Structure 1
Amino acid sequence: MIVAHDLYAETNPAFCSYILATFASAYEQEKSSGPEMLLCYAALPIALSGDLEKTFSGTNRLTGLLEWLQRNPVVQIDLRERIDNSAEIVTEAIQFGCFSKLLTINEQGLVSTGPKSTNKSAINRLGSPNLNAFKRARSLGHWMAMAGSTRTTLNMMGLTV
């Protein structure tokens, strides 16, 4: 049996905006505000990366970003390139999320969940690879919120602003 991998579907702005809404929701659970837009550009490519799925094994919302990164230094290999190559996908996902009211952006550039909520029953019906992207986004939302400022979060990841 040949298993087809549909990269186009995984980079669809609607699908990606749902993942970003999941990330923002988890972030908001830890802090009283949403993440800076810049964090979406790091979170979405990591959440979509099936090759990093093993690095999330044995983690939960309390694991923390630094501990996860220390356990899995492979995450930082080519991370800058991964983020650069997905910038257009993230931008389109943010735009779609705002137009569909899944996301909002305030004057300070903070991304928050919008008035329209994600369809959790539809998400739960997804196949394992796609469903796991939502789980990874949720973990990243909790971890990045607990890490502190955006600058601190990016520094932990070996990125500079």
Structure 2
Amino acid sequence: MSETKASVEYRALFNPAFCAVLLREACLGAERESKSRDVEPLSFAASFLVLPAVLHEPIRRALPKSIATSFATWLAENPIIRSQFAAVATVTKDITKNGLLFGATHGALRLDAGSVRTAGSMKIQAPEFDEANSDIGRCLRAARFMGRWLALAGNTTTTLALIGMRA
């Protein structure tokens, strides 16, 4: 693969606007769970777990099919993924910050009281894509899933500790 192609792919995948869309989808998922199950929405610290799970294909493919599987159980059943998660989260930390900043600056996300929430509306102008069979669609679905799942994961400090990170 040429350096130019890798650079183009890198810029597309880690584009702050695309990352803001993914973080917003996660917030929508978390807000759905917080309303129906009386749990907290997506915490600021937990938002840093969304992009590593969504953008890193091996982690995304290993995500459970249902939010009924607890985060702790999933990690215990996937020790290789567990060992990768913190490293990927560390690499994507600045990418997540840029996505949060872009989303907040453009009125799609609101950062308040230690949480990340949706704000305003966001219209995505993209060429038509098959959400079920495209990488973009898989990323959007995984982001919504992560938001719902992290809302149910419990204490964020404990969740981060499970993968070897600190809040």
Letter in structure 2 aligned against 1:114 = A
Q: What runs of 5+ residues in structure 2 fail to find an aligned partner?
A: none
Aligned to 1:142, what secondary structure does the other structure show? helix
Aligned partners of 2:127 and 2:163: how far apart in 1?
Answer: 28
Deviates more, 1:60-69 or 1:16-25: 60-69
Indicate the residue corresponding to 1:75 in structure 2: 81
Q: Confirm whether residue 85 of structure 1 aligns to residue 91 of structure 2.
A: yes
Percent identity, please.
25
C-alpha separation between the residues in 1 aligned to 2:109 and 2:159? 22
- Residue-by-residue CA offset, 1:82-137 (whole Å, 9 max, x unaligned): 1221111111100110111110011x121001111354x84972662222112221
Number of residue equivalences: 156
Aligned structure 1 segments of 4 or more residues deviating by more than 4 angstroms = 121-124
Where do 5+ consecutive residues of structure 1 fail to align? none
Give the structure 1 partner of residue 114 of structure 2. Answer: 109
* Residues 14 and 95, structure 2, Cα contact 8 Å, conserved in 1: yes
TM-score, scaled to structure 1: 0.83
> Post-superposition shift, 1:65?
1.7
Q: Matched residue of 2:45: which SS?
A: helix
1:44 aligns with 2:48: no
Alpha-carbon separation, structure 2, partners of 1:64 and 1:142: 11
Q: 1:123 to 1:136 in 2, by over 3 A?
A: farther
For 2:70 and 2:77, the matched residues in 1 are separated by: 11
Helix, strand or coil at the partner of 1:112: strand
Deviation, 1:13, is 0.3
C-alpha distance in 2 between matches for 1:53 and 1:123: 23
When residues 123 and 59 of structure 1 are mapped into structure 2, their CA distance, relative to the original with a 3 A threshold, is: farther
Which stretch of structure 1 is more off in the superposition, 38-47 or 74-83?
Answer: 74-83
How many Å separate the matches in 1 of 2:19 and 2:149? 19
Q: How much has 1:66 moved relative to structure 2?
A: 2.3
Task: Say which is worse superposed, 40-49 or 10-19, in terms of deviation.
Answer: 40-49
The match for 2:24 is 21
Partner of 2:162: 156
Q: 2:149 corresponds to which letter in structure 1?
A: W
> Per the alignment, in what secondary structure is the counterpart of residue 65 of structure 2?
coil
Cα pair 1:61 1:143 within 8 Å, conserved: yes
2:14 match:
11
**1:130 maps to which residue?**
136
Aligned partner of residue 77 in structure 1, secondary structure: helix
